Amino acid sequence: MDDEELEDVKQLDLAAIIGFDGANNRSLVAHPDKKHIVYALGNRVAILEWATKKQEFLAGHTNIISCITVSQSGAYVASGQINHIGFRARVIVWDYQKKEMISTHEQHKVRVEGIVFSSHEHYVTSIGGRDCGCVVVWDWQEQKVISAVQISKGAAGDASVISSMHKRGESFITGGDCHLSVWVINKEAKSLKQIIVHTMKRRRAVLCIDINERDEIGYCGTTTGDLMKVRLCFHHDPDILDPVKNPIVQGYWARISNKKLERGKVDLYENGIHSVKILPDGYILIGAGDGTFEMVEEVIKPNKKEDLKMPSKPALKILKSINVNGSVSAIQLFDVTTFVVGTVKSEIYLVKRKEFQPILVITCHVSTIYDIAFPYNFSEVFATASKHDVRLWCVNTMEELLRIKVQNFYCSSLVFSYDGKALFTGWSDGIIRSFTPLTGRLIYAILNAHNKGISAITCTRNGKRIISGGCEGQVRLWDVSPTKQQLVCTLKEHKGPVSAIDVNSDDTEAATASADGTCILWDLQRQCRRSILFANTLFMCVKYVPSGVQLLTGGSDRKVSYWEVLDGSLVRELDGSPSGAVNGLDISSDGSLFVTGSNDQIVKLWNYQTGLTTHVGIGHAGAVTCTTFSGDNKYIVTCDASGGIFLWKTPKKEEVLPPPLETVEEEPEPIQEEPEEEKVETVRDIPTVRVCVELPPCECNIPPDDDSPRYCCRMRGGGDNTALMPETSRSVKSIQSVRSQASVQSVKSVQSVKSVKSVQSVKSVQSVKSVQSVKSVQSVKSVKSVQSVKSVQSGKSVQSVKSNKPVKSQSSVSSRTK
């Protein structure tokens, strides 16, 4: 679907997103109103109200957001993104109150590493990545660039972090690999003045920077694991922008350790210091790469001659320390007593200064989500499958309810039992594990269920059987109970991994989709193949419609196909995606809608009958891997390869169903009255057919009349030879009786035609039947003589001609007279 087509289609209403992109050190900011936090989530900026957990989103980026900042007053938000190599990355300034874009520029190439507002909020300063290597000062109010210069000079490396001053709006500091510089903006000259910080011939890679409120001291976290203290040497008058003398590094501080260390070594933070924050009372918060989060105090000891092999000196006294899950990527202050901590494992913790215990507030999957499932007829909870764990989520609060961990393996597929008492999961180690959804306790495990790992799993409605598919292509049927699990049969038809399995509504048939280009329908009662579907694609998903007469498939050919279950014929094909494979598919419980997700990161809602796209959902940061409807069809849940979970509101039926066809009432044209013409009755001759009946010579003495149609005296009703030929006279009388009966029937039929047209057909049929019966009776009576039989046959022809023809003529004349 092109961009022009996407504009014509309505957008899905996004209800909530479960996720947090904590991989970047500048992707979480606490808002100055102390009620909201702002963080990056794929290609959207998420604003979370802390008390109610209500979410709002700012959409405008075309790719993953790499950095976020908020102005000191909280009125504006700025964000930068990542783009493909060779393309420019966008920087956007947002109005926080109106939740709309107010300024944007694309001066950086490929990536925006860091972004800050100036203290007076006139400028937005950003630094580019390795492919860009420049710093850009953007006057967003006047929509113009003040200056853009290269950062690296000489042996200095790339800049990766940036921080603004609190008192001086025209100054900021940047740091990176062997790089630390203070910058001064000259708006009139449209230039930047760089002042390199003297580092005492020591090389450090700076990961984070924070400046105190008076712009006197700055602390920088390094990859070495020590804290670098920098004196900025600014004048006490904030109007004087240039430092009095060159900024200099005062020292490299390590922790004062209580444990015994080797001689000459100091206690450094493992994996470096990734985040640092200076508190108003002078204490320092430090987040390390090993998950350590500490509050320390700088203690300067008198100079002693210490035999230290490292240039770092132990000067940080640990006051409080905890560990969180993952490297600390961001530290923000709600107030002096409340801290917000973000980690690279996409988790946000709340830490109270007094208790100093981590409280998990926001969490999500770190890696690809492979499957998603709702319990049968229950829409309050759903489960997701990913690497290392399976998680259960609450739809209303979007909070994690349960986490089931299986380290070093990934869950490829899961499904709830229809009674909701078990959660069946298939893992990459080839084991089927069943858990309780309430506590996560393991009920049973089927070892070695598949040799090369389990790729798909489902269950029947009665809960007694599990159908599993493996990466080797086998489909296996299991009889399961809490105490016994038994293999029923193994179906070996697929040559590639089984990607999806679905069972029809009456548990008699199952459909399996495979990467070998086939989709097989299995008879579960006879345990054999019923039919097979072929296509030039790698099937990724399959789903029965609720009625069970058709099924939908999607695959690498970017098509959504309708198949007839009865004979396996292809009914319809739709273009599911213009550029990527269709990975996920699900049908609503009433069968009117279905949703698809593909590699192009777009979710599409379709009308099943018309095959038209009614709504699209845009916002995923990775390929959409799975989609599903909630049990009550109120929500659509989609997951992607980056670990994000999106909850969309299902549109109302009025918005989805096609509008009824408008009936246009045509006004009848006025009838032009023609002058009446005199009706002339036309009388035409009715064609008649004469049949010659050969009779024996008449021996009477009465000659025939010329005007009479009769041939002899016998036909006149008398004669001398009447008594001599009884058989012949009897046959002639029978002909006359048949004629009279036929004429009576024809008169009746004409009368019935004139009365009721519908009765005409019935009576005419009856008349024909009666004539046929009379014919049969007369033919039986005249069997004695061959000559009489011939005469009867000739009489039949006369009857057929003289009885049928007048009926037609009478009806035609009556219709004309009418």
Q: Does residue 617 share a domain with residue 519? A: yes
Mean pLDDT for the stretch of residues 721-737: 44
Q: What distance in Å separates the CA atoms of residue 287 and residue 291, rounded to the nearest whole number? A: 7
| In-domain check, residue 697 | no
Q: What distance in Å separates the CA atoms of residue 76 and residue 122, rounded to the nearest whole number? A: 11
| In-domain check, residue 274 | no
Residue 478 confidence (pLDDT): 93
Mean pLDDT for the stretch of residues 144-151: 90
Distance in Å from the first CA to the final CA of the chain: 64
At 158, is the pLDDT very low, low, confident or very high (cuts 50, 70, 90)? confident
Task: Name which of 113, 153, 115, 158 is nearest 133 in CA terms.
Answer: 158
**% of the chain at pLDDT higher than 90:** 50
* Helix 757-781, helix 726-755: angle, nearest 10: 170
| Cβ contacts of 588 within 8 Å, gap of 6 or more | 594, 629, 633, 650
Task: Name which of 592, 715, 603 is nearest 657 in CA terms.
Answer: 592
Name the domain boundary from 163, 196, 229. Answer: 196
Mean pLDDT for the stretch of residues 744-750: 45
Residue 594 confidence (pLDDT): 94
Residue 275 confidence (pLDDT): 94
Q: Does residue 784 share a domain with residue 642? A: no
* Helix 786-817, helix 757-781: angle, nearest 10: 170
Half-sphere exposure at residue 618, Cβ-oriented, CA atoms within 13 angstroms: 15
751's tokens: 């009368």
**763 pLDDT exceeds 80?**
no
At 471, is the pLDDT very low, low, confident or very high (cuts 50, 70, 90)? very high
| Top-ranked range on mean pLDDT: pick from 54-58, 150-154, 308-312, 729-733 | 54-58
Q: Does residue 541 share a domain with residue 426? A: yes
What is the residue whose two structure tokens read 């086939």? Answer: 518
Name the domain boundary from 639, 655, 671. Answer: 655
Do residues 332 and 28 make contact, with C-beta atoms less than 8 angstroms apart?
yes
Q: Does residue 401 share a domain with residue 494? A: yes
Tell me which of 51-55, 377-381, 525-529, 705-709 is least confident. 705-709
Q: Does residue 536 share a domain with residue 418? A: yes
**774: three-class secondary structure by DSSP:** helix
Q: Does residue 736 share a domain with residue 589? A: no
Residue-number span of the structural domain to which 736 is assigned: 730-744+778-818
DSSP 467-505: EEEETTS-EEEEEE-SS-EEEEEEE---SS-EEEEEE-T
39's tokens: 């963080």
Check which CATH number belongs to the domain holding 174 and give it: 2.130.10.10
| In-domain check, residue 501 | yes
The H-or-E segment that residue 409 falls in is strand 400-416
Q: Does residue 568 share a domain with residue 456? A: yes
Residue 735 confidence (pLDDT): 43
DSSP 142-193: TTEEEEEEE---TT---EEEEEE-SS-TTEEEEEEBTEEEEEEEETTTTEEE
Residue 546 confidence (pLDDT): 92
| In-domain check, residue 106 | yes
User: Each residue of 227-240: pLDDT tens digit?
Assistant: 999 999 888 888 88
Residue 227 confidence (pLDDT): 93
User: Each residue of 627-653: pLDDT tens digit?
Assistant: 999 989 999 999 999 888 999 999 987
**788 pLDDT exceeds 70?**
no
Q: What angle do CA 741, 742, 746 make, to 5 degrees?
A: 120
Q: Does residue 568 share a domain with residue 441? A: yes
Residue 63 confidence (pLDDT): 87
Q: Does residue 526 share a domain with residue 424? A: yes
**441 pLDDT exceeds 80?**
yes
Count of domains in the chain?
Answer: 3
Residue 154 confidence (pLDDT): 60
**402 pLDDT exceeds 70?**
yes
Name the domain boundary from 142, 173, 196. Answer: 196
List the strands of the sheet with 159-164, edge to edge.
159-164, 171-176, 179-186, 191-196
Residue 155 confidence (pLDDT): 59
Tell me which of 402-411, 663-672, 727-736 is least confident. 727-736
| In-domain check, residue 550 | yes
Q: What distance in Å separates the CA atoms of residue 404 and residue 363, rounded to the nearest whole number? A: 14
**12: three-class secondary structure by DSSP:** coil
| In-domain check, residue 147 | yes
**709 pLDDT exceeds 80?**
no
Q: Does residue 378 share a domain with residue 491? A: yes
Q: What distance in Å separates the CA atoms of residue 57 and residue 40, rounded to the nearest whole number? A: 10
Q: Does residue 630 share a domain with residue 739? A: no
Residue 312 confidence (pLDDT): 83
What is the residue whose two structure tokens read 């590639």? Answer: 496
| In-domain check, residue 110 | yes
User: Each residue of 556-578: pLDDT tens digit?
Assistant: 999 999 999 998 899 999 998 88
User: Each residue of 647-703: pLDDT tens digit?
Assistant: 999 998 766 665 554 555 555 555 555 555 555 555 555 554 444 444 455 555 555
| In-domain check, residue 701 | no
Tell me which of 600-609, 620-629, 683-692, 740-749 is least confident. 740-749
Q: Does residue 783 share a domain with residue 647? A: no
Mean pLDDT for the stretch of residues 154-178: 86
Q: What is the mean pLDDT of the chain?
A: 81
At 807, is the pLDDT very low, low, confident or very high (cuts 50, 70, 90)? very low
Residue 243 confidence (pLDDT): 87
